[in-house]
A and B are shown apart, each in its own frame.
Chain A
Amino acid sequence: MSDTRHRTPGPGVSGPSLTVRPLEGCGGVRVAGEIGLATHSIWERVLEQAVRGGESVYYLELSEVTFVDVAGAGALVAAAERLEDGRRFVVRRPPPALRRVLKMLWPHLPAIEVATS
Chain B
Amino acid sequence: MSAAAEPLETVQEHFVHPALFYRDEGEYLDGTVSFVREGLAAGEPVAVAVPGDRLRLIRDALGADADAVRLLDMREAGRNPGRIIPGVLRAFADTCPAGQRVRIIGEPIWAGRSAAEYPACVQHEALINAAFQGRTVTILCPYDAVRLPGHVLADAYATHPTVIPAGSRTVRDSEAYAPDAVVARYNEPLPLVADAMTVPFAAESLPSARHAATEEGRRLGLTGITLEDLALATAELTTNSVLHGGGAGVLRIWAEGGHVLCEVRDGGRLTDPLAGRRPASRDQRGGRGLLLVNLIADLVRVHTGDEGTTIRCWFAR
Contact = CB atoms under 8 A, between A and B. Distances in A.
A96 B230 CA distance: 12
A2 B206 contact: no
B199 interface: yes
Given A38-B203, A81-B282, A105-B292, A100 B198 contact: no
A78 B285 CA distance: 8
A15 B252 CA distance: 22
A11 B303 CA distance: 31
A100 B296 contact: yes
A65 B289 CA distance: 20
A115 interface: no
A71 B207 contact: no
A26 interface: no
A8 B282 CA distance: 38
Given A38-B207, A69-B236, A7 B199 contact: yes
Interface string A1-26: 01001111100010110000000000
B248 to A, nearest CB: 12
A46 interface: no
B286 A5 contact: no
B292 A104 contact: yes
A101 interface: yes
B178 interface: no
Contact of A37 (B242, B280, B282, B285): B242
Contacts of B206: 36-38
Interface in A10-58: 13, 15-16, 34, 36-38
Contact of A13 (B197, B208, B242): B208
Contacts of A69: 232, 235-236, 239, 289
B207 A16 contact: yes
Interface residues of A, number: 29
A6 B225 CA distance: 26
Interface residues of B, number: 36
A83 interface: no
Contacts of B229: 100
A111 to B, nearest CB: 11
Interface string B213-249: 0000000000001001101100110010011000000
B228 A9 contact: no
Given A67-B235, A105-B288, A106-B282, A36 B296 contact: no
A40 B131 CA distance: 31
B88 interface: no
A46 to B, nearest CB: 17
B201 interface: yes
List the 6 closest A-B pairs by CB distance, nearest first: A9-B205, A9-B208, A105-B280, A96-B228, A16-B207, A69-B235
Interface of B: 195-201, 203-210, 212, 225, 228-229, 231-232, 235-236, 239, 242-243, 280, 282, 285-286, 288-289, 291-292, 295-296
Given A6-B198, A71-B288, 13 more contacts: A7-B198, A8-B200, A13-B204, A13-B208, A38-B203, A38-B207, A70-B232, A71-B289, A77-B282, A101-B292, A104-B295, A105-B280, A105-B288
